[in-house]
Structure 1
């Protein structure tokens, strides 16, 4: 398999950080986007560029596009991995809370996809990381109104984009993850122990990113061995 150009968001820790290392180890070129670029920069991987990036800052999208134009010319895979998890009773959740969660989990996915799709080939692959909390009929947990509803929104967004680009590509798919033991989960649910590690989930996501679009487009795959 020839080397791919891969853009990943939310790479400072957790699944995103593990994805960077896995793809780099396989020889792929990675653009790692996160508000804190230091963890990836400190890895000193020759085929990885770490760029400070805030999904709510429109100027940062300009920087990403310029880098793609100047250094890569095209993007094979985009993994919308960055997420903001808020655990707060709905009655206490403010307009600003919802705005902040949706800014990262929905608007950021939409805008980065819009910016990068023109640079993606017909067999390109956009993967958005959602949650079992965004799946209709799955168990829902109190305190996650903003988070889980935002994860439901990106599922519908991806289905619509798959339809809109079905003649030209790229392909759009969603992975709805169950609980994964990450720093983000621990911050929101300190006492919960997830059955899956960040590395285990990252390994699955990498394999799906490289080949899943040969079979799937506009699909939501539930990736969970637990109820959450």
Structure 2
């Protein structure tokens, strides 16, 4: 047996009504959905217009289910995959990792496996390994160190560079400069299977682009 469910119409462009307090059938009011006239039992209750929820939902191509035992209404859009609504929470690991190459040094304090990382409020979410880092030029010379262009290799055998989504924690360093922020690596494979990674960092160079440090590979264990 289908249960009749009523929904208040607060959506502009569907219907607007202002009447005296009370409740009665509104046979003179017409309901249009996507330009199509819908046959529905509209009612006016305390100045608000109501229409059966099932009518509106099914007219928009959605499926409506009523669970009497749980007292729950479920509305699913056409083609909706219930598994897509299951979001794996992000998982963070506090680490103490230092990478030193010549006079440049990097401290990694946290690694986060984020299934829906967004670099800003307008960007599309991505699966990502996110490193919280502090980079420092310990010398008095101006140096260049492009750590976001370097790579990680995960235990799942995925290799990726961090240059697309990372913050400005690299580039040119005037003497004794410190930069803090995040290095972000987009992951295409199974994020939840990552338990360790190798971070491969090229050595820094001076203002004449001469190397002043060696390439370093640092293993990071997530536990």
* TM-score band w.r.t. shorter chain: under 0.3
With a CA cutoff of 8 Å and minimum separation of 6, indicate the structure with the bigger relative contact order: 1
Higher strand share: 2
TM-score (norm 2): 0.25
* Larger helix share, 1 or 2: 1
